[in-house]
Amino acid sequence: MEINLVSDTVTKPSNEMLQFMFKAKVGDDVYKQDPTVNELEARLAHFFGMEAALFFPSGTMANQAAIKLLTQPGEQLIADKYAHVFNYEAGGVAFNSGVSCHLLDGNRGMITADQVRGAINDPEFYHAPLTSLVCVENTTNKGGGACYEIDELKKIKAVCDAHGLKFHLDGARIWNAMVAKGQHPSEFGKLFDTVSVCLSKGLGAPIGSVLLSDKTTIHKALRVRKLLGGGMRQVGYLAAAGIYALENNITRLAEDHRRAKELAVALQKCDWVSGVEPVETNILIFSVKPDRNENEIIAKLKEKSIFISSMGQGKLRIVTHLDYKEVMHSYVLEALEKLGF
């Protein structure tokens, strides 16, 4: 039994999801003639209270399209230093949009309205790039699955409005945040100019992210998606997986959160662990003691068929997901208790 806790992207479609995909009605989505894609987009737009949506093959492409749509070359966006758009999208901000990043030292990947206000360049000071966009990530990946409070997002939105800035949400794990905080998607739809949501992480679809915005922006996004190579044909088979995930896999995210918290408790008892970061959702980050090698920990767990990932500098990461079943969870808890050096 292999237990892969490297990421929540490792899940495979269930038999029920596969059957739902097989039955999808499809067409050519480049011509917007795929009925299942159109249904998924309409559902998500309604879900978030936004006007329109567009299906993308990846969250990175959806984020990059949003940044392209909301900025001009030479401008600057504000984000946390841990932001996915800066750290894990291959320099796309610069390559695709010609935009630089003003990175803030937030709390576990989350920035505040006061920090944003202090980072905005004076638009009359032409020696500095013009600040035009704020990007936030919810939940935070490198921040260990931390969730923004709606009130803080409202404050950041007010700063954006006061300074004429656009506001983008990288909602790769927004479903986890909503379940953990008891939030409604329309709360996010009211705040952001663009929202990207992922279907292939916690919700367990094999592929797919969706960009949400107003009708005019999404119409422009069609061209951006095309130039990025994201136009696909009978992609309704994949969109069907997204529809199934929305109908069946949101509320069960609470199970992933519970298991991550239980793993955190177990790790706090291990004499080779120096600290465990707070756990709100399905991402767990912990540090090993200075006299321990993180690769040694990974190897020891691998011997027990448990796979986790390194974040460098003595930090390790565990991510729970829908393919991590209770029997596996019991095994991992026991393995951690017995893991000695």
Side-chain-side CA neighbours of 105 within 13 Å: the count stands at: 0
Q: Which two tokens stand for residue 308?
A: 């986790």
User: Domains of the chain (ranges plus CATH)?
Assistant: 15-248 (3.40.640.10), 252-338 (3.90.1150.10)
For strand 283-288 and strand 273-276, is the pairing parallel, antiparallel, or unpaired? antiparallel
What DSSP designation does 142 have? T
Q: CA-to-CA distance for 105 and 112, rounded, in angstroms? A: 10
DSSP string, 186-217: HHHHTT-SEEEEESSSTT--SS-EEEEE-HHH
- Of the candidate ranges 170-184, 186-200, 224-238, 288-302, the one whose mean pLDDT is the lowest: 288-302
Answer for the pair 148, 138: CB distance below 8 angstroms, yes or no: yes
3-state SS assignment for residue 170: strand
- Residue 193 pLDDT greater than 70, yes or no: yes
Of residues 82, 84, 88, 8, the one with CA closest to residue 319: 8
Tens of pLDDT, residue by residue over 312-325, are 889 999 999 999 99
Which pLDDT value is given to residue 291? 87
pLDDT band at residue 341 under the 50/70/90 scheme: low
Cα angle 321-39-22, degrees, rounded to a multiple of 5: 65
